[in-house]
Structure 1
Amino acid sequence: MILAAENEPQKKRRPPIGARIKSRRKALGLTLQELADRSGLSKPFLSQVERDLTTPSLMSMLGLAKGLQVEISYFMEIPQARDMVRRADAPAEIAVDSPVTYFDLASALPDRKLDAVLMRIPPGHCFPVDTRNGEHFRYVLEGELYARAGDIHTVLKAGDSMHFDARAPHTVENRTDREAILLYVGTPSVLQRGAPAEPA
């Protein structure tokens, strides 16, 4: 895959969970014992957590969130992708042997769950019938496409969209004499696994 997108600077990593807990406790003016009383956890356990000597379970974090008056997301590390922004003048073209031109609009987010792909589909091209677990969303930006999903056979024109369970047999075909431009969004990500990029 050709990644020609602008790289955005990564955010500064958040401090370890122990430091976040201690910082919040201090901000609330709580002693370890007071936090233990609020959270239902023991003082020795909290002392170990604050020093990053142990990692609290999900249930312990729920108690800590209650005691510190925060959402549980306060303790989580949010994954960030360096190529979060895709610029129009630097498209990320996907290198694949196909008459269709593909551009990856999604970022290289760790454990990415979906694909967002812009496709330039030449006249006469027909995708093979496919089935897979997940969901597919199609939106025609330009041109006209014949589309099938399960028992639905239709023509999608500019501005039309289609959303369906990808376990239904599906395909897209350009039966016109001009190029069609399609926005495809689907789960799970097949590009993340390095699968062939024929997702429509």
Structure 2
Amino acid sequence: MELPKVPIGERLKTLRKSRNLTLDEVSKITSVSKPMLGQIEREQSSPTFNTLLKIATGMKVPLSYFMESNDFNYKIADIKDMKPTLEENGHMRIFTMIPYDPIQNFEMFCIEIDPGCEHKSQAHQNEECVFIMEGKIELRLVEETIILEKNQIIRFQANINHSYSNPYNEKCVIQSILFYPIL
């Protein structure tokens, strides 16, 4: 089955207008020229991956915002049909369950963490909610270690270095929701 073409230009224009930015302002924060941004918005040019990455980084949105279709009334996601992003040599698998949408300002992931795996996350300007679906995990927030077990949830500001560690004998599965601040 062929995936629908994602209207990158339309998404860029919607995002820019939702933040009341001009093309000049977007050019300054993304380091992409104003003429190129205009061509992308009018669907006269398809950006390269690096250009799209510059735009996503400058606009502070995930790259997935420009790459995944959200043209639906409802959508059922099945993890077995998804290709995960691999971290920690494949011992941590991240599945995008709900891609980022600038109107809703959140995205949701299902993350599988193998026994013995530790993942260190740099500080970022999000709020995180983590729900433990299977197993248990050690969450380290700066110097404090919190042990979370199945059916527990934690909500925290992620503007500090933090890490997820599974020193236990079974896989841990978590649901992670990232909330983005409204700019």
- The answer to whether structure 1 residue 167 and structure 2 residue 164 are counterparts is no
Partner residue of 1:26?
A: none
Structure 1 residue 162, shift from structure 2 partner: 0.8
Match of 2:82 in 1: 92
CA distance in 1, matches of 2:142, 2:174: 19
Q: Name the structure 1 match of 2:93.
A: 101
Q: Distance in 1 between matches of 2:92 and 2:79?
A: 20
For residues 153 and 125 of structure 1, do their structure 2 counterparts lie closer, same or farther at Cα, with a shift above 3 Å needed? same
Q: Structure 1 111/149 Cα, relative in aligned 2: closer, same or farther at 3 Å?
A: same
Tell me the residue number matched to 1:180: 172
* Aligned equivalent of 1:124, options 116, 123, 144: 116
How far is 1:148 from its partner?
1.6
What is the distance in 1 between the residues matched to 2:100 and 2:107?
A: 10
Structure with a larger share of its residues in helix = 2
Q: 1:81 aligned to 2:73?
A: no
Instruction: Give percent identity, aligned residues only.
Output: 12
Bigger Rg, structure 1 or 2: 1
In structure 2, stretches of 5+ residues that fail to align are: 5-68
* 1:128-154 Cα deviation digits (max 9, x unpaired): 142111111111000010112245421
SS of corresponding position for 2:105: coil
* Correspondence 1:31-42 to 2 at 5 A: none
Taking the aligned partners of 1:100 and 1:85, their CA distance within structure 2 comes to 25
Structure with the larger strand share: 2
Match of 1:157 in 2: 149
Closer/same/farther in 2, CA of residues 152 and 95 from structure 1, 3 Å limit: closer
Deviations 1:77-104 (A, max 9, x none): xxx9226513337543334353212211
Question: 1:11: which partner in 2?
Answer: none
Task: Return the alpha-carbon distance in structure 2 between the equivalents of residues 133 and 155 of structure 1.
Answer: 23
Partner SS state of residue 151, structure 2 = coil
Q: Distance in 2 between matches of 1:151 and 1:110?
A: 33
TM-score under structure 1 normalisation?
0.48
